[in-house]
Amino acid sequence: MEIKLIKADITKLKVDAIVNAANQSLLGGGGVDGAIHRAAGPGLLKECRELNGCKTGQAKITKAYLLPARYVIHTVGPIYAYESREMADKLLADAYTNSLYLAEKNGLASIAFPNISTGVYGFPKQAAATIATRSVKDFILRAISVQSVWLCCFDEENFRIYQQLLERN
């Protein structure tokens, strides 16, 4: 099992699944959510309408349509200002873990994550990266099908934070 850190546009990755940092409606939005919906085309929105949304910390899977990935795993991270710190931390860890469980359940070998909740949802980037790397490392100890987890950063700040965390461990 390997963890890869890359600075890239997640919509361009050819992996089994990319993770969408979605809102609870799953019907598109800003940031990575909007970029994924635009790149995937109208089929993704149509399928997402049938899912009846997604609760914070949970995950659902769809086809990827026009994306190079095979699937999109949609997860909803917490809005940092709406939760206690402990609950926000738990919900963010759940978003990563439940996405990984869904990949495992579907026999997927590779999955790429964006920086969940660090944009308009306001989660502090250092804390979010710590939770993300811990969640991924804890999961890979018992993974069977998931062989490669990509931590995909769009911006240089997140990339450096993850790089420092991964170098320490």
Write out the catalytic residue numbers: 33
Alpha-carbon gap, residue 140 to 124, rounded angstroms = 24
Q: Which residues of 54-66 are buried (b: 16+ CB within 10 A; e: fewer)?
A: bebbbbbbbebbe
Go through the chain and tell me how many residues it has. Answer: 169
Pairing type for strands 2-7 and 71-76 reads: unpaired
Torsion angle defined by CA atoms of residues 100, 12, 25 and 61, in that order, rounded to the nearest 10 degrees: -40
Q: In what order do the strands lie in the sheet with 71-76?
A: 2-7, 148-153, 110-113, 17-22, 71-76, 59-63
Alpha-carbon gap, residue 64 to 98, rounded angstroms = 18
